[in-house]
Every structure is written in C-alpha cells, then in structure tokens.
Amino acid sequence: MSTTAFLLIILAGLIHAGWNIVAKKAGGDSRFAFFTAVIMMVLWAPLGWWLGRDELPRWGTTEWVFVAISGVLHVVYYVTLLRGYRRADLTVVYPVARGSGPLLSSLAAIVLLGEQISALGALGIAGVVGGVFLIAGGPGLVRAAHDPAARARIHKGLYYGALTGVFIASYTLVDGYAVKVLLMSPILVDYMGNFFRVALLAPVVLRDRTTAWRLWTTQWPAALAVAAISPVAYVLVLYAMRDAPISHVAPAREVSMLFAALIGGHLLGEGDRIARVCGAICIAAGVTALGLG
C-alpha cells in the first residue's frame, strides 16, 4: 500500500468516527437518513455539477446500474446502522460492523477479484478484526452473562453490527469495482447515489409528514453535520482503492475504531475503556502491517 493511500485512509478514519458519533447522538431512523441524503444533494451540488458535466454524458447503462446498486446498498446499510444505534451501544455496533465488513470485503476481493495478499497483510487483517471484536466484547460480555437486560442489549448490538457489516462489504465491492475497473469518478459514484437514496427513502417521509417535520426541526443540525463530512470520508477511501488493493484498503479503514474507542466512548459514557484501548492497539498494529504488506 502506498503512503498516499495509507494517509488517505487515516484521515478518512478520523472523519468516519466523527460522523458516526454524531449519528448515534441524533438517535434518528430512516427519516434521518432521508434528511442526510437531501442535504448531501444540495450541499455538494456545485461539485457534482462541475465534475458531472463532462463525465456523466459518457456513462452508459453499466455505470448507471452500478450507481443504482450502490445507492440501494448504502440506504440499507445506513438504515440498519441507525437502527442498531437506537437499540444498542455504539461501542458494540460500530466495532462489529467495521470488523465484519472489511473481513468479508477482503475475502471476496481475494476470491472473486483475484487480488493477492502477503503473509504480513493477512496478519494485519487478523489484527484489525481481532482488535475490533475485542472492543465489541471483552469484559462486557462476561458481565452480561449475569444481567439479562445487558446481555440482550449486547446481542442486539452484535446482530445489527454484523448485519451492517454485510452491507459494508457489499457496497465496498460494488463501489470498488466502479472506481477500479470502470474508472468512474469516486466523487460522482458517491454523489449520484444520493438521488437513488432520496427516491428510496421519500415514501417513508411522505407517509407521515407531520412526524417528519417534527423530527427535522430537532435533527437537522446533526443531519447537516453528517451530510457535510461523511462523503469526504468515503470519497477518500474510494480514491485509496484506486491506488491500492481493496483487500488492503477495506481492513485499513478500521483505523477509525482507534478514534471511536478513544473519543466516542468518552463522549457517550459507554464503559469498558481498557478493553477499547487494547482493541485500538491491535487495530493500529494491524493497520501498520497492512501498510507494510
């Protein structure tokens, strides 16, 4: 992995952890996802127009199909993630999602796309995934065995985290193929997907406009923050995918867990800080191994 790709992933990880903390505190549902997508469309329209005026006329059916599939996968991913945040702790849902997603992405990239990975890279993946699941469980899982309510909450976090990870792996492969093989603009892949996201989420908002408006009045600052910074994180990752194998980039994204463990747990008042720090160290070592491998 090149130094440029590595630095892009580090920066993306910091931004990604930040917007997930904002989304968790907002406590939104699919309507929050709609607010975010609409604001993204408006906020990033000048850049979308600037890049799209030359590239979009060259897109054929294949490119638009990939954007549509990407849009659907991102909607399901985001709604599932938000639901997990409402029902469990961020320090369970987020690590499991970020751990299972790259594991599946890397395996699929190696098996389906024929990518190669060194022994050091394989150890890096193991370190990242091990650290993530240490953050997700650790002492909390032992204590939860004697507390039915805590056990149920952790189980929900594990379930929604793993389900979110499946969709992370799916959109990573789809978007990675779009930018690596079809040579589509990473910015346009993400931006144009918003139009499909808005179309898919609009019926939920229109079904109960009164409730949607009430939620908008309280959640728009958080939606604005997520809309402003989340595309930056993902576009940086897509650019890194152009320069490095998906099987390396996907696990390396988990450096965001280091930031989430040290910052998110403190801000949200979630426990097991020692386990989170140990997991973060494993992640840092794994990311370093991936960078060298």
pLDDT digits (tens, 9 = 90+) for 152-201: 777 788 889 889 988 988 898 899 899 889 999 989 999 999 999 999 99
Asked if residues 135 and 279 have their Cβ atoms less than 8 Å apart, the reply is yes
Cα 229–Cα 184–Cα 117 angle in degrees, nearest 5: 85
Confidence band, pLDDT 50/70/90 cuts, at residue 80? very high
- pLDDT of 34 strictly over 80: yes
Kindly report, residue by residue over 120-160, the tens digit of the pLDDT. Answer: 877 877 877 777 667 655 555 555 556 677 677 777 888 89
The span from the CA of 45 to the CA of 177, in Å, is: 24
pLDDT of residue 62: 96
Query: pTM for the full model?
Result: 0.77
Asked if residues 175 and 237 have their Cβ atoms less than 8 Å apart, the reply is no
pLDDT of residue 154: 76
Compute the mean pLDDT over every residue in the chain, rounded to the nearest whole number: 82
Spatial neighbors of 253 by CB under 8 A, at least 6 apart, are 9, 12, 13, 16, 98, 102, 237
Asked if residues 102 and 253 have their Cβ atoms less than 8 Å apart, the reply is yes
pLDDT of residue 103: 66
